[in-house]
Amino acid sequence: MDRATGWEILTEYVQDSGLRRHMLAVEAAMRWYAERLAGDPESWGLAGLLHDFDWEIHPTTEQHPADGAPILRERGCPEDVVKAILAHNTAGSGVAPSAAMDYALCACDEVTGIIIAGAYVRPQKDVRVMKAKSVKRNWKDKHFCAAVDRQEVTEATAAFSEQCFDGKLQLWEHIANVLAAMQGVAAELELDGRMAS
């Protein structure tokens, strides 16, 4: 499966622009890490791009992404990508992360939300002008982007660090990496200042 086919699946199943933006952000972060961990950027990118493709048709943790996996398989999605997507919701799918791509997806998923929210509240509406320290300020405010479970992000990052970085990747280094990845695709995310009033 190539990226164009993945995008077709995403646009078929995901109508909400915010969810599309989230999936594109996770794709960027996954590609960024693939290049540093000798992973395949295309496979890792697909995992990020498609990880929430079925959320609008299966909007519960019991259904998502387990009920979406057969659709991906029918469309020719590689099994390692399907497994990574299943592993990003172990509670619902019963599939635990075991490969580097799985751990990366778990670590990159939720953190993009607080970065996107931070870009929205800035007058410039431009992720490229953000710094990790501004994300840190927002992180400390539990009411800001409350849907992002800080404990889940911390635990997923720790597991990713342990499995892929010998425990040396710290939370704020990871968040800075995801921010850098998103800054590289600011135009695709429409977080390049175009929404500034």
The secondary structure of residue 194, as a DSSP letter, is: T
pLDDT tens readout for residues 53-72: 999 999 999 999 999 999 99
Given a contact cutoff of 8 angstroms between Cβ atoms, the answer to whether 81 and 72 are in contact is: yes
Confidence check: pLDDT of 108 > 70: yes
Residue 197 lies in a domain: no
pTM, 2 dp: 0.96
pLDDT tens-digit series, residues 29-53: 999 999 999 999 999 999 999 999 9
How many structural domains does the chain have? 1
- Least confidently predicted of 107-111, 147-151, 193-197: 193-197
Residue 195 lies in a domain: no
Distance between alpha carbon 167 and the CA centroid of its chain, in Å? 21
Mean pLDDT of the chain: 96
Residues 183 and 115: beta-carbon distance below 8 Å: no
Total count of residues recorded for the chain: 197
Write out the two tokens for 73: 């398989």
Structure tokens of 54? 């079925």
Question: Which residue range is the domain that position 169 belongs to?
Answer: 3-189
Domain presence at residue 127: yes
